[in-house]
Structure 1
Amino acid sequence: MQCNKYAPAIIVGKLPLKHIQIVQAPSDSEYFNQLLPAIQGASKERQGQQLLSSLSRYSADREAEIERICNSNHQGFVASVNQLLHVRDGAVDLASDILSLNQSIQASTEKLAEQKKALVESRAVRQNIDEATQALQDCLEVLRLANQVHDLLSRKSHYSALRALDELQNVHLKEVTHYKIADLIQKSVPATKKLIADAVMADLNTWLFRIRETSQFLGEMAFYHTEQRRTRQKDRAETSPYLTNFKLNSAIELVSDEADEFDVLDNDDVQVDFTPLFECLHIHNALGQTEKFRAQYAATRRQQKELLLPASITLNDDEGTTLNELLEGISGFAIVERVTIRKAPDLRSPADVDELWDSMCQQAIALVSKALHEVTNAELLLKIKGIIALFIETMDSWDYPVSSLDGFLLRLFEKYAELLKRRFSDDFQEIVSTDDYMPMPINKLDEYDKVVNVSWYTPDKPRNEIRFPCVLPFSQMYPLCCIDIRNFLNQFYFFSNDHFQHPKVIDETLKASLDELLSNSVCRLLVERLNSQYLGQIVQILINLEHFEVACQELEPLLAAARSTASVGAGVSLNATDAFRSNKKTAEKRIFELVNSKIDDLIGTAEYDWMAPTLEREPSSYMQTLTRYLSNIMNSVLLGLPTEIKELIYFDALSHAATMILSLPLASDVKQINPNGVAALAKDVQYLTEFVDTLGNPILRENLDELQQTIALMQSDNADEFYDISTRNKKYGRVDALQGPHLLEKLTHSVQTPASVRSDKFQTLSSRFGMKS
């Protein structure tokens, strides 16, 4: 029985209400629409029995409807089945006919298939023969190319061999990949490439070895070219002074020198071919090994750099051969590196080249510094500086940084200055210690001209009025020191020639060194010699100090004019000028001491008889000796001194003599002075006054005023005038207020006889030795 798809979703049997099964309907709305009347009815009735009865009736109605529908469609279904069975029988008959037809066709084509098979087999044989022939030709071509690669490699055609190998691998081998020979040749390709790479590297190593051997010669050629440029620049500067402001490698110098360009790597003496390097780089690039080649090449150049630098050098050879060879080798090596980076920028980076250059510079500086202690000669050190300066200017033209080398030149200059100072200090000390300290005699005009030209000295007379032999005021040490000073200045500035970037350091060091030499090696030694007891030597030292002071004053503007533009604006003041000036005073004091000491000695020989019984007719011998001494030193020893210094010495000497003479009657052992004693003293003072008058300087006479007034007081008949202030100021104004009364107390107006004098002397001796009369 067929069931309608729309059968009720709830089937209610004759079961108790609690056993009723509710099956989900096709839709909730349909279910509730059907159930709603029954539920509503149940809700109106009182009991659930009514709901159950309604559901049972509804179920029965639905079952009856389903049965009716199934009964009405049964006949149609049976008819359809019969029709299908009939169709099936017809299909079976048709299949039998088709099989029969197929057997017939198959039988007819068997003969044709046999003939076709025979034809196909004959064509296959012919095709195999053709393919075998072509394969043989392809393999022979591959073998020919493989042999050609090795033949090119043996002829050192490395790049052609690589191209042939590349063609063999990428073109011809692809045509015979299904043959065993292709596998064999393909396996040999890496080995062949390695052979090519090794061969080209062998050629490159040979080239690098030749480059290392020629590096020093390249550097020598570069140095020679720089020297030529220096010469041409000096010639241009002589023609046009404006060009002196431009150094080597400046833009102006480079433009001016364009007409004389010189290729260090390609000239009549040397030719450097970079073809092996380019070929090696190109082949490694083609092999995809560029980075490996760059690393290998860099390592090789580093090794060559280490072989280029020796373990030590010597600087004591006069020609500087060892240092020249070292710097020429470094120069040639660096030039090749710079050209390499310009021609093959992919091979060498600027950082690698600069690193190598800096390393070579530092090692070279270390080698020179290590050997620098051997150098004790300033001229040799100047040659060393010249070689390094030439190296700096050469490498600066190749755009290499040279700041470290410039800094090393500063260290060389410090040692150079120290050597110069030490040498000239020894020279000055020898000159000062061996001088005779006598005015310098000149016998010929040419000698006179030489001395005047080298010394800072202005003669008192014109040159044509000089009569020979003559004597110059200074001693021989002064012109000799002047010569050394000029040489010292010149040799100091020699260091700034060619190339030196620190001119201000030269200016300051020169000033300090010259100051130290003049102050310590000249002035100090002269001052030490002031301890001499020889007045003539002291006077000559004073004269020399005077001329050295003038020399220093003349040197100051010369040093200022010679200073570089970096130091312009500041004047030059030498401390030695003040040292010589101040020590002139020391020398003057020493002269005063010696002269006054001699005066003390002479006055110490005075033998006045203060109670003389008779009047002396002649001046005392000590006074005659004293005036003769003063006259002699004025006309001989002090003759070369400036007039003002001579007058000062005389003034001080006379003042000291007057004081010492005045102290004679004031001595404590002088108890009494009679008129004869005063007369003797007055005669000596008069003799001294007359001598001073002969000197022609009224000022000197003033030194004797106190002495003269004191004598006048002692000879005065009215001594009480001294105690009258107004009179004393007029007649005895220079007499000391305490010494005058003291002398007056010692005066006695009586002259004793010789017997009484002897008695007084006996009493004096008795009292001195404690004897009783």
Structure 2
Amino acid sequence: MPARLEPTFDNGPAVRQIIAPGTDAEFLDHLIEGMHGANPTELVHSLERMAVDRDAEIEDMCTSNHQEFINSVNELDRGRDDCTSLGSEILNLVQSYQTNTDNLAAQKKNLVDSRSVRQNVDESADSLRQCLEVLRLSNQVHELVGKQNHYAALRALDDLRSLLRLRESSRYKVLELIEKSIPATQKMIAEAVMTDLNTWLYHIRDVSQYIGEVAMFNTEQRRTRQKERGATDDYLATFKLNSPIELVADETDEFDVLNNEEAEVNVDFTPLFECLHIHEALDQLESFRTEYAITRRRQKELIVPTVLRLTDVEASELKELLESIVGFSIIEKATMRKTEGLRSAVDVDELWDSMCQSAITLMSSAIQTVDNAEMLLKVTGVVSLFIQTMESWGYHASSLNHFLMTLFEKYAFLLKKRCSEDFQEIVATDDYMPMPISTIEEYDKIIDVGWYTPDKPREEIVFPCVLPFSQMYPMCCIDIRNFLNQVYSAPDDTINRSSLIDETIRNSLDELLSDRICQPLIERLRSQYPGQIVQILTNFEHFERACIELQGDLAQARAARSRTGPVVLKATKDFHAARQKARDRIFELVNSKINDLIETAEYNWNAMGPVTEPSNYMTELTRYLSNIMNSVLLGLPTDVKDLIYFDALSNAATGILSLPLDPSVPAISPSAMQLLVLDVQHLTSFVAALPQPTSTQLQRRSTSSNAALKDAPVLLNRTVEELSQTISLMASEDPNEFFDISLRSKKYAAVDARNGPVLLDKVEKGSHGGAVQGDGASMMSTNVGGKEKTSERFRRMMGGLRNVGEANRD
């Protein structure tokens, strides 16, 4: 045992405090406190000494109580053995009790299980009954869907939903699944009914063209019935198709284009009604409207092709297109009328306008290549029938009517073009000779087609005969009548004839008659052949009469359409003016020939020998006038022929009178005067032998040209009156009568007061000139005496002129 260390100071309290705490934290706290202010070495020695003391105490205690400790240990061993025995017995008892308890628990569990199974069986049976009822309704829904009884299926589905609410479907998995499947079943019903609707729409698309064909056929039948009513009743004839009067008159003939046994057409709207009703019940009406509108818009696009060809004479592609549009539009209108809220008027009109514009675009492109008037007329008829059919269903057709007017204008243009080409060929190939007729059949045909009234009755005409006009006139009349008939054959129920057809006909006829007949004939007036010009003049006259008759026919046709007012053709004035040009051309040619003959006159104004026969030019002139009037101009109307005679004779008289008045003629010898008298007498005799005209126009022209002779009974004699009286004055034995106003007005009223003195002076000079030439020795005295006499006579002449002038002023 180590030696004890003697403490240098007392650390007892500190050591006790250090070893007293029961926790490490307190121990450390007291240790730190004991070490504070003390020597650590001494504290260690104090603790070691404390440990030694305690070991000694324990050793003393063990040494003194060793036997008692051993005895206690033995007693404890014996007690432990007894406890072990008792424990084994207790375990045996517990095991026996546990066995009995387990048996009782098993029996009780069997009892409880039996009761639970019975309750579960009862509950399962009740649940099964509930589920079977739900399953029965569910199966019934699917069976109804399979039978396409969609609305009944939807009603059964509503019953199923109500039953699921009563049965608290969340308790059962199968019922929960069935309840969750209800929206899918509703969707299945909606899809099934939409499938039926699409099938119905596909069927409608297939039969749309046939429906349109039947509808347009019915419209054609209504047209026929209306024409028959109009033929028997003029009042009904004034009403157009689809007018209220026509609808009332036609209401006895009932016709349902959508349900017609004769046409084997039966459009059943049941699928549409069912689909509409089901979507309304599903509260999906708005989406159904949208989907239905999209479907119909797609079907509309399938109706309208990309290209339209007008290659066959029946315009089959166009008819198919328009019939499809008619059927589609009728279904749309019927859908709008039979349902409420599915199709609005705006939607239907929008589709209609779209189809119209597409059809007009296609037709406008197709007719660009059409140059056949008959084909265009067929197209016009089909479009017109289409418009009337659509108007009977309440569709507006303003754009189609405008397009129909465009079609009519092109149709009239093609007819005019064809007629213009015919006229051009007729004018170019005409022989410009009066038209010969061999048989009465030909005569009747010409009378029927031409606006011509013969002078003689049909019974008095002897064949063969000759008509005044050339063959171009009846040929042109035939073309004009064909043109009018073809224009009027255009459908008139939709075209406003009063503003379009009348104006088109008037303009076309003016262009054809003026530009294709009148103007080419005017250009042919440059010909030098009077016979051709005479024939052209005759043709002008008949064309002018034809224009007047045409104006009456057009006015009557306008009156038949409840329009009044005359129809004036510009061509009438053009032919009248052309006829005047032809007359002037004939006058020009005849007068030119007369002037040429007069220019060949060879008067020797100083001739001295006797004269017994008229001049050659005079006999040639009268022969020319006689021949041309009795041959070339024979076919002219009497008034025209009289005017030509009048003008030609007046021109001849003026030309003959101008010969002695020529300033280059200083004097007229008695022999020359005698020849001039013979020529004038020859001309006067020729005029007197001519038949006197009775034309009012010629009388008016004669009296206006010479007012002093307005009361003269013979008209043609007036043309040579001035010439005859002037020559008589020149040959008079007493020329001074001319200067006596009273005698002059009786014998020389037609003589020009200015020409008379000049001619008398030339005759006076010629007579004296003849005397001088006869005797040269006495020429001087004769000339002096002649000068004196001439001066005196000149003064008397001047005084007479003054008196004549004063008389004229009075």
Of 467, 483, 491 in structure 2, the residue corresponding to residue 488 of structure 1 is: 483
Is 1:525 matched up with 2:520?
yes
Q: State the match for 2:125 in structure 1.
A: 133
Asked if structure 1 preserves the Cα contact closer than 8 Å seen for 2:558 and 2:564, the reply is: no
1:215 equivalent to 2:208? Answer yes
TM-score (norm 2): 0.74
Which one of 169, 177, 183 corresponds to residue 176 of structure 2?
Answer: 183
Does the alignment pair 1:170 with 2:162? Answer: yes
Give the Cα separation in 2 of the matches to 1:455 and 1:756: 77
- What does residue 548 of structure 2 align with? 553
Equivalent-residue separation in structure 2 for 1:253 and 1:708 (angstroms): 80
Q: CA RMSD in A?
A: 2.8
Q: Secondary structure, in 3 states, of the residue corresponding to 1:487?
A: helix
Confirm or deny that 1:305 pairs with 2:297.
Answer: no
Correspondent of 1:433 among 428, 434, 438: 428
**In 2, distance between residues paired with 1:450 and 1:514?**
22
Identify if the C-alpha distance between structure 1 residues 535 and 500 changes in structure 2 by more than 3 Å, giving closer, same or farther. same
Deviates more, 1:396-405 or 1:631-640: 396-405
Counterpart of 2:436 in 1: which secondary structure?
strand
Distance 1:381 1:258 in 2: 33
What does residue 260 of structure 2 align with?
267
CA 1:741–1:544 in structure 2 vs 1: closer, same or farther (change >3 Å)? same
C-alpha displacement at 1:373, in angstroms? 1.5
Specify the SS of the correspondent of 1:177.
Answer: helix
- Secondary structure at the aligned position of 1:748 is classed as helix
Please tell me whether residue 406 in structure 1 is matched to residue 401 in structure 2. yes
Contact 1:504–1:564 (CA under 8 A) maintained in structure 2? no
Q: Distance in 2 between matches of 1:524 and 1:560?
A: 25
Matched letter for residue 149 of structure 1: V
> Cα deviation per residue 1:437-461 (whole Å; 9 max; x = unaligned)?
2111111111111112222222111
Specify whether residues 235 and 668 from structure 1 end up closer, same or farther in structure 2 by C-alpha distance, changes over 3 A only: closer
Letter paired with 2:204:
I
Residue number in structure 2 paired with 1:737? 753
Answer whether contact 2:668 2:766 (CA < 8 A) is retained. Answer: yes
What is the match of residue 193 of structure 2?
A: 200
8 Å contact kept, 1:613–1:754: no
Provide Cα deviations, 1:706-760, integer angstroms capped at 9, x if missing partner. 2223323333344455455555444433333333333344342254999999xxx
- Matches of 2:420 and 2:773, distance apart in 1: 70
Name the SS of the counterpart of 1:217 in structure 2. helix
User: Runs of 5+ in structure 2 lacking a partner?
Assistant: 1-110, 693-713, 777-810
Residue in 1 that maps onto 2:78: none
Deviation at 1:213, TM superposition (A): 1.7
Q: Distance in 2 between matches of 1:242 and 1:675?
A: 87
Paired-residue identity, %: 61
Cα distance per residue 1:508-561 (max 9 Å; x no partner): 332333233222222222222222111111212222222222222222222221
Q: Does 1:582 align with 2:600?
A: no
Q: Which letter does structure 1 place at the counterpart of 2:669?
A: N
Choose which of 640, 661, 666 in structure 2 pairs with 1:645.
Answer: 640
Partner residue in 2 for 1:688: 683
Matched, 1:748 2:748: no
2:603 pairs, out of 601, 608, 617, with 608
The AA in structure 2 aligned to 1:376 is D
DSSP-derived class of the 1:441 partner: strand
What secondary structure does 2:567 align onto?
coil
What is the CA-CA distance between 1:168 and the residue it aligns to? Answer: 1.8
Contact 1:316 1:374 in 2 (8 A): no
1:496 and 1:756 map into 2 onto residues whose CA distance is 100
- 1:24-63 mapped onto 2 (5 Å cutoff): none
1:592 is displaced (CA, Å) by: 1.0
Distance 1:702 1:393 in 2: 71
* Aligned residue number for residue 419 of structure 1: 414
CA distance in 2, matches of 1:756, 1:319: 106
Task: Give yes or no for contact 2:134–2:163 (8 Å, CA) kept in 1.
Answer: no
* Maintained 8 Å contact 1:689/1:704: yes
Q: What's the CA shift for 1:497?
A: 3.7
Partner of 1:145: 137
Question: 2:99 maps to which residue?
Answer: none
Matched residue type, 1:287: L
Where 2:224 maps in the other structure, the secondary structure is helix
Amino acid of the residue matched to residue 675 of structure 2?
A
Within the candidate set 321, 328, 331, 1:326 is matched to: 321
Could you tell me which residue of structure 1 aligns to residue 449 of structure 2?
A: 454
Q: Take 1:284 and 1:227, find their aligned partners in 2: how far apart are those partners?
A: 41
Q: Distance in 1 between matches of 2:553 and 2:213?
A: 39
Residue 216 of structure 1 contacts residue 330 of structure 1 at CA under 8 Å; is this kept in 2?
yes
Counterpart Cα distance in 2 of 1:464 and 1:121 = 137
Aligned to 2:227: 234
Question: 1:346: Cα distance to partner?
Answer: 3.0
> What SS does structure 2 have at the residue aligned with 1:282?
helix
Aligned-partner SS, 1:563: helix
* Alignment match, 2:217: 224
How is 1:458-473 mapped onto 2 (pairs within 5 angstroms)?
A: 458-473=453-468
Judged with a 3 Å threshold, the aligned counterparts in structure 2 of structure 1 residues 754 and 320 are, in CA distance, closer, same or farther, namely: farther
Structure 1 distance, partners of 2:559, 2:279, is 55
Deviation at 1:487, TM superposition (A): 2.1
Structure 2: how far apart are the matches of 1:378 and 1:255? 36
Deviations 1:197-220 (A, max 9, x none): 222222222221221122111111
Give the number of aligned pairs.
640
| SS of alignment partner, residue 525 of structure 1 | helix
Does the residue aligned with 2:171 lie in a helix, a strand or coil? coil
Secondary structure of the residue aligned to 2:715 is helix
Q: CA deviation at 1:159?
A: 2.8
- Per-residue displacement from partner, 1:610-667 (whole Å, max 9, x unpaired)? 2224223222111111101101111112222222221211111111111111222233
